[in-house]
Amino acid sequence: MRLGIPREVKPFENRVAMTPNGVRRLIDAGASVFVERGAGRNAGFSDVDYRKAGAALVSTARAAWSVDLVLKVKEPQPGEYRFFHSDLILFTFLHLAANQRLARELEKKKVRAIAYELVRDDAGQFPILAPMSEIAGCLAALVGANYLRRDLGGKGTLLSAIGSGGTGHVTILGAGHVGRNALRIAHGLGATVTVFDRNQDKLEKLSLEYPERFQSLSDPEDLPEIMKRTDLLVGAVLNPGQAAPQIVTKKMVQRMEPGSVIVDVAIDQGGCIETSRPTTIKNPVFSKYGILHYGVTNIPSLVPRTATEALSRATLPYVLKMVKEGSSRVS
């Protein structure tokens, strides 16, 4: 099987689909791997690293796409649609619920596309989405805490208690991988954290794990009141393959104090907060009703080395299986 790894072209996407070590494993399994020059540079992997691993370096995106299987990180951008062909298998994050144009293009060109975020294991878990969600959750808490700084437009609140003073308040929507890791970091920073989720079992487990500075909510009717004392709101709701439900309305956002911060990690799937919209790493925030909104659609790209290594570990078993079984067995 011929595999291609093109350079990511989504603005400020710094990850690459496979590490050199992963490429070596694929070649040892019988694949021919073609890596576009510069594909791994921003993640800390040089062209020399890929050449030493046995990959062939190609100078154009078209050459990296003219293969049986393309490995990417983010969804193809409009400029890449011209590379689609009917013999192509595409393995990447797609988030088609928020991108109907891409869905139509894939269907029109008869591309066999496999979305990372929809791959389930035998236990019903999402093994490729999980590590990126963990990274996004950690960064959501860190980024949000940073934007509470006054010089960045925030209200000037430190999440940690100082002396006998109170702590900052973080509200997290969702107790999945993103939410649990946002909780871990926010609680570790010293904040009081409220987690909203409809799953009582998840909330009970978190209550046992965090006996102090933790509150759980399962009734949406309680959200408007909790917004009044929320310094940082993290949107971490996921419905696999579907648009994210809008849990927080603009009226709830208006209840927040000016200078509070919203980080909507669900923005890839349309966002779970009514006032959210996609932003970029270059221009990450905007203000609405005096509240800073962070809607970067590729948060793990902030730590591309860690994210690439985690993504490569997660996808490699599936790619190896495809290489061994051949493209005709991939449906």
The residues annotated as belonging to the active site are 95, 268
Reduced to 3 states, what is the DSSP secondary structure of residue 320? helix
Given a contact cutoff of 8 angstroms between Cβ atoms, the answer to whether 60 and 36 are in contact is yes
Strand spans (E) along 201-266? 214-217, 232-235, 261-264
DSSP secondary structure of 273-304: BTT---B-SSS-EEEETTEEEE-BTTGGGGSH
Q: Which residues of 135-172 are buried (b: 16+ CB within 10 A; e: fewer)?
A: bbbbbbbbbbbebbeeeebbbebbbeeeeeeebbbbbb
Instruction: Find tokens 């049986």 and name the residue.
Output: 68
Helix, strand and coil percent figures for the chain, each rounded to 5: 40, 15, 40
As a whole number of angstroms, the distance between CA 91 and CA 219 comes to 38
